[in-house]
Amino acid sequence: MAAKTDKKDVRKVVLAYSGGLDTSIILKWLQTTYGCEVVTFTADLGQGEELEP
């Protein structure tokens, strides 16, 4: 189980960002709830072939 963190202790968060609804919502929630800076990380995993018709 993760240790409980006081909101005032959170200053910066790195979020693995997919661009979907879930990560878009959690990004704003982190900013609002913790008042922290959110740094997003997005990576090209080379899955383009799976998306082509």
- Whether the predicted model's global pTM rises above the 0.85 cut: no
Per-residue pLDDT of the chain (53 residues), as tens digits, is 566 667 778 899 999 998 899 999 999 999 999 999 999 999 887 776 766 66
**Residue 31 contacts residue 40 (beta carbons within 8 Å):** no
Two tokens, residue 23: 């990560």
Q: Using DSSP, state whether 43 is helix, strand or coil.
A: coil
pLDDT confidence of residue 24: 93
Q: Which runs of consecutive H residues, i.e. helices, occur in the chain? A: 21-34, 48-51
Distances (CA, A) of 45 to 2, 17, 21, 53: 29, 13, 19, 18
Task: For the chain, give every domain's residue range.
Answer: 12-42
